[in-house]
A and B are shown apart, each in its own frame.
Chain A
Amino acid sequence: MKRNSKTNQPAGWSITRRRLASALLALHVVAIFSAPWSFPPPASALSNVVAGVFRPYLIASFLDHGYRFFAPNPGPSHLIRYEIDMPDGAVVQGRFPDRNQHWPRLLYHRHFMLSETVYGIHNEILDEVPEGLPPDRAEQFQRMQTFYRQRAELAQRGIARALLNETGGQRIRLYLQIHEIPFPEEVQGGLPLNAPGLYQDIRMLGEYEGDDG
C-alpha cells in the first residue's frame, strides 16, 4: 500500500479515481435498491424501468431479489407427497420435506424450498380462462399458462426421476399437499402440529414412469 511520504499515513485516492469510484458505487446502490423495489408485484412502472436497466447485472451477480422474508404473511407449508410402485408390487409412500429423512437441516431446507417452488409455479396456473378477457389478452393468458405448465412439468419430472432412481421404483404419482397451521386455541386443546387432519392433498401433479425422465 502506498503511503504519504510526509505523514506516513495511507495515501488517499486521487480525485479522478474517487469520482470514477463514486459513479460506480452510485450505480451499484441504485441497482441493488431497484431489485426489491421492482419485485415482487405490485410494483410501479418506474421501478420496472430502473430495474430493467440493471437487470443483466443483477441477474449475473445473483443480486436480483425481493427480500420479502415471511411476507406478506407466514403461511401454511406446501409439501410433495408421493406414491411409488415398486417392482415387487409394493407401494412406497413418502413426503418431502421429511425431517426424519433429510439431514442435515440445510439439506432438509433445500427440499422444503423445492416443494414450495413447485407450489409457487402451480399458483400461477389457472384451470380456466377468466371470463371477459379481450381476445388479445386471452391469447397472452394461454401463452402464460402453457409456459407455467411447461415449467411445472420440468420441475415434477426432475423430482419424479430422482425419487424413482433412489428407490428403484417403476412408477410414481406426485401430489401437492398443504399443511395447515392450527389456531392457537386448537393447540391449547391438544392438537399436535403434525396432526393428520392438517395435511390435505390440493392437486395431483402427475404420474411418471421410469422411462419418462
Chain B
Amino acid sequence: MNLVVGYCKDLYVWFRDGWDRFWFTPDGPETVCLLRILTGWSLFYCHLVWTYGASEFLGANGRVSVEFARHAHRPPPIEGVTDLSAFAWSHLFWLENDNWILLTNVVVLCVLACFTVGLFTRVTAVLSFLITVSFAHRTVGALYGLDQIHAFLAMYLMLAPCGERYSVDAWRKRRQQGDATLPAISTNIALRLIQIHMCIVYLFAGLGKLFGDTWWRGDALWGGFANYEYQTLDMTWTASHPLFINFLTQVTVAWEIAYIALIWNRKLRPLMLLFAVLLHLGIAVCMGMVTFGFIMVVANFAFIPSEFIRSLSKNGSRMPEGQGSGA
C-alpha cells in the first residue's frame, strides 16, 4: 500500500514540476516578436485582398450575403442541439453599405499595419485578433485553413509582449528608458499554446487521412498534383513515377501523425521543422496556396528557441545571460 501511495506522490510531484517548468519558465521575446511580424504581414495581406474583393464578397450585392452567413452558423434542426449562432459575432453583420465597408476596411488595414510594425502593440494585438475572428464569421463559406491558423496565432500573440523586439514600440522604449526587456512567462505561455495547437492540427490532419483509401494506396498526392483548380506548377510528370508519389504521400501522413511526439525531441526538432518547411513550400508552389503554406511555416517557427533568433540579430547581447530558454 505504501508503495502505491509513494508512487502516486512521486507521480504528482513529477507532473506538478514538469507542468510548472513547461508553462511558467520565462522566455525571451524574439520568437513571438518574429511571429508578430510574419503573422501581422499575413493578416494584412489577407485583409488587403478582402478589401480589394469587398464588393464581390461582402457588400449589399456580395456573393456571401449576410442572410447566408447567419444561416451558415445555425446548427441543423436536430433535437437537443442548441443554436449557438449568436456566438458567431461580427461587426460586418451590421454593415452592408459598400462605402461603410470600405471605410471600415481601411481602418482595419491601419490597425493590422500597426500590429505588424509593432506600434501600440498591446492594443493592436487585441484588435487584430478581434478583426480576424469578426471577418471569419462574416465570410463563412469562403474560408479555409489559412483563416483557422490566423485566428489562433492572433489569439496567442495577443497574450505575449510581442512588441518588445523588432518594433516601433521597442525603438521608442529604448530611446526613453534604455533596453529593459526581460524574459517573460506570458511569452512562454503564448509559444507553448501555439506549439500545442500545431500538434493538434497535424494530429487530426494526419488521423483524418487514415480514413481515406488514397492515402493508404499511396496515390493521394496525385489527387493534389492533377487537380487543375489547385495547380500552379505542373507536376504531372509524376504520373510516370508512381513509387515517388507513394513515397511522398505516405511520408506526409507519417510525418503529420508523428509530429505531436517527435517535435518535442531536441535532436529531431530541426528535421521535423525542415520537413514542415519543405511540405508547406511544396503546397505553396505546386498547389497555389502560398498564403496557407506561409502561415503554416510561420506557426512552426514557434518551435525555434528565442536564443537562436537573438543570435541571428544584431541586438543579441541585450538579453541578460542565461535567460530565455523556455521554448
- Please list the residues of chain A having a beta carbon within 8 angstroms of any beta carbon in chain B: 1, 3, 8-10, 12-13, 18, 21-22, 25, 28-29, 32-33, 36-37, 55-56, 59-63, 65-77, 79, 97, 99, 104-114, 117-118, 140, 143-144, 147-148, 150-151, 154-155, 157-159, 161-162, 165-166, 179, 181-182, 184-185, 187-188, 193-194, 198, 213
Alpha-carbon separation in the docked complex, A147 to B226 (Å) = 35
Chain B nearest Cβ from A63, distance in angstroms: 6
- Selecting from B2-10, B32-40, B197-205, B309-317, the interface stretch reads B197-205
A179 contacts B228, C-beta separation under 8 Å: yes
Complex contacts, A71 vs chain B, CB 8 Å: 205, 208-209, 211-212, 215
Is there a chain A Cβ closer than 8 Å to B76's Cβ? yes
Chain B nearest Cβ from A127, distance in angstroms: 18
- Selecting from B112-120, B147-155, B267-275, B300-308, the interface stretch reads B147-155
Count of chain B residues near A, Cβ 8 A = 92
Residue of A55, A62, A147 near B84 (CB, 8 A) is A55
Chain B residue at minimum C-beta to C-beta distance from A2:
B182
Chain A nearest Cβ from B105, distance in angstroms: 14
A179-B229 contact, Cβ under 8 Å, with A10-B182, A33-B200, A147-B77 = yes
Q: Interface SS of chain B: helix, strand, loop or mixed?
A: helix
A110 contacts B229, C-beta separation under 8 Å: no
Chain B CB within 10 A, most for which of A22, A25, A99, A188: A25
A140-B79 contact, Cβ under 8 Å, with A59-B88, A61-B133 = yes
Chain A nearest Cβ from B265, distance in angstroms: 20
B56 contacts A72, C-beta separation under 8 Å: no
Is there a chain A Cβ closer than 8 Å to B261's Cβ? no
Alpha-carbon separation in the docked complex, A33 to B148 (Å) = 14
Chain A nearest Cβ from B266, distance in angstroms: 22
A162-B200 contact, Cβ under 8 Å, with A73-B220, A106-B291, A155-B68 = no
A67 contacts B182, C-beta separation under 8 Å: no
Alpha-carbon separation in the docked complex, A65 to B208 (Å) = 13
Chain A residue at minimum C-beta to C-beta distance from B288:
A105
Alpha-carbon separation in the docked complex, A157 to B230 (Å) = 26
Complex contacts, A140 vs chain B, CB 8 Å: 77-79
A162 contacts B56, C-beta separation under 8 Å: yes
Chain A residue at minimum C-beta to C-beta distance from B202:
A67
Closest 3 CB pairs between A and B? A71-B208, A72-B212, A74-B223
Chain B residue at minimum C-beta to C-beta distance from A40:
B208
Residue of A13, A56, A72 near B24 (CB, 8 A) is A13
A61-B151 contact, Cβ under 8 Å, with A77-B229, A158-B62, A213-B61 = yes
B61 contacts A143, C-beta separation under 8 Å: no
Alpha-carbon separation in the docked complex, A172 to B177 (Å) = 65
Chain B nearest Cβ from A58, distance in angstroms: 9
Chain A nearest Cβ from B185, distance in angstroms: 6
Complex contacts, B68 vs chain A, CB 8 Å: 151, 154-155, 157-158
Is there a chain A Cβ closer than 8 Å to B100's Cβ? no
A1-B184 contact, Cβ under 8 Å, with A158-B62, A187-B236 = yes
Complex contacts, B146 vs chain A, CB 8 Å: 106
